[in-house]
């Protein structure tokens, strides 16, 4: 990755403090862990954390983001560095591109097409061949990003239906529900989507791009970093749908890893730990990159994806979203 250090995942309630040039993580009944600030790329917080100003200012000075997930795995927010790496020149180009309907639609179409293909790849099934075949024509017919979001939504609903046929009854989605997720399957997808979003956001922050200026997602919602939402799309199937299938097939997760009641579900502490281990292992998985002629991890793929958009902004190089080539 461009920025040094690695991600730290905090799955238990903890206190985050500063100690000289280190961050000290204090958890109940455990000896505190000290991490030199230069070893940290970002922090992903899965549970309650208590942080003070000294820690925040050290993290901020080193441009480290603290991602906060809420109880249901939704992305609750972040502590973001006071300064970022964005450059005026790149951001100007980004604004110009997103304001140009033709350029914007080209990127948005590519994202929807690639995401659908990646969903089919992740589910490893022929059941989506029909919808996938019809998609290019539908995408071409769309006049704006909003219509594209509609097409993407339809395809996803079909795909989730197919996914359900591959899952044991207790993990089935039965339709996607978000705030809060209605059952274990939905809770899992919510966590993984939020984690993917956090990875993308960190990757974007290591580039001169501005995370809030996007192509596909509507920028009317001021709370969201729409570029991060955009770039998360092609990676969500790789992490969320695929890991859900794997967790089901390998029986990594059991109903006991979720806290469920009639209308909502979330991961238990043990479940969060399992999921964070699964994701970290997955992100560290490497594949051979033909152009770079070396192995790259999935995490690096996300970084390379952000760089493609830098190339679009700086050089007008058409953006070809990530598709698994292995």
Among the residue ranges 110-118, 213-221, 251-259, 317-325, the one whose residues contact another protein (CB under 8 A): 317-325
33 Rama class: left (phi>0) / alpha (psi -120 to 50) / beta? beta
The closest of 169, 246, 196 to 73, measured between CA atoms, is 196
Token representation of residue 112: 């929807």
Q: Among 44, 90, 163, 195, which residue interacts with another protein (rule: CB under 8 A)?
A: 90
Distance CA(174)–CA(240), nearest Å, equals: 16
The closest of 177, 245, 190 to 71, measured between CA atoms, is 190
- Please list, in sequence order, all residues whose beta carbon lies within 8 angstroms of the beta carbon of residue 9, skipping any fewer than 6 positions away: 43, 44, 46, 276, 279, 280
Distance CA(51)–CA(110), nearest Å, equals: 40
Among the residue ranges 22-30, 191-199, 237-245, 306-314, the one whose residues contact another protein (CB under 8 A): 306-314
Q: Among 38, 96, 285, 286, which residue interacts with another protein (rule: CB under 8 A)?
A: 38
- Please list, in sequence order, all residues whose beta carbon lies within 8 angstroms of the beta carbon of residue 98, skipping any fewer than 6 positions away: 104, 213, 214, 215, 219
**Residues of span 207-266 touching another protein by CB under 8 A:** 207-208
Among the residue ranges 88-96, 139-147, 158-166, 196-204, the one whose residues contact another protein (CB under 8 A): 88-96
Which C-beta is closer to another protein: that of 3 or that of 49? 3
Q: Tell me if 176 sits within 8 A of 157, measured CB to CB.
A: yes
286 binds another protein (CB under 8 A): no
- Number of residues near another protein (by CB under 8 A): 31
201 binds another protein (CB under 8 A): no
20 binds another protein (CB under 8 A): no
Among the residue ranges 26-34, 42-50, 262-270, 315-323, the one whose residues contact another protein (CB under 8 A): 315-323
58 to each of 213, 225, 254, 324, how far by Cα in Å?
A: 27, 24, 39, 38
106 binds another protein (CB under 8 A): no
308 binds another protein (CB under 8 A): yes
The site for another protein (CB under 8 A) is made up of 2-4, 38, 62-63, 85-90, 206-208, 289-292, 300, 303-304, 307-308, 310-311, 314-315, 317, 320, 325
């Amino acid at each position: 990755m461009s920025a040094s250090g690695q991600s730290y995942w905090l799955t238990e309630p903890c206190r985050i403090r500063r100690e000289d040039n280190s961050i000290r993580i204090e958890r109940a009944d455990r000896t505190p862990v000290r991490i030199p600030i230069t070893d940290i790329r970002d922090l992903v917080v899965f549970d309650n954390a208590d942080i003070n100003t000294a820690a925040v200012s050290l993290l901020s000075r080193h441009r480290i983001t603290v991602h906060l997930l809420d109880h249901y795995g939704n992305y609750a927010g972040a502590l973001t560095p006071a300064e970022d790496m964005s450059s005026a020149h790149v951001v100007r180009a980004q604004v110009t591109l997103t304001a140009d309907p033709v350029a914007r639609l080209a990127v948005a179409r590519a994202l929807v097409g690639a995401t659908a293909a990646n969903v089919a790849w992740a589910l490893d099934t022929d059941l989506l061949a029909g919808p996938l075949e019809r998609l290019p024509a539908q995408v071409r017919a769309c006049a704006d990003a909003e219509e594209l979001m509609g097409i993407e939504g339809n395809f996803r609903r079909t795909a989730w239906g197919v996914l359900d046929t591959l899952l044991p009854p207790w993990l089935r989605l039965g339709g996607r529900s978000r705030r809060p997720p209605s059952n274990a399957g939905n809770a899992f997808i919510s966590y993984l989507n939020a984690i993917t979003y956090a990875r993308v956001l960190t990757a974007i922050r290591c580039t001169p791009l501005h995370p809030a200026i996007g192509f596909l997602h509507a920028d009317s919602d001021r709370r969201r970093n729409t570029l991060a939402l955009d770039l998360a799309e092609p990676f969500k199937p790789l992490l969320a749908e695929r890991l859900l299938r794997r967790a089901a097939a390998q029986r990594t997760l059991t109903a006991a890893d979720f806290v469920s009641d009639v209308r909502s579900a979330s991961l238990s502490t043990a479940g969060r730990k399992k999921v964070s281990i699964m994701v970290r292992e997955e992100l560290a998985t490497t594949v051979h990159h033909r152009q770079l002629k070396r192995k790259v991890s999935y995490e690096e793929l996300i970084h390379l994806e952000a760089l493609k958009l830098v190339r679009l902004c700086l050089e007008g190089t058409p953006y070809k979203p990530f598709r698994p080539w292995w």
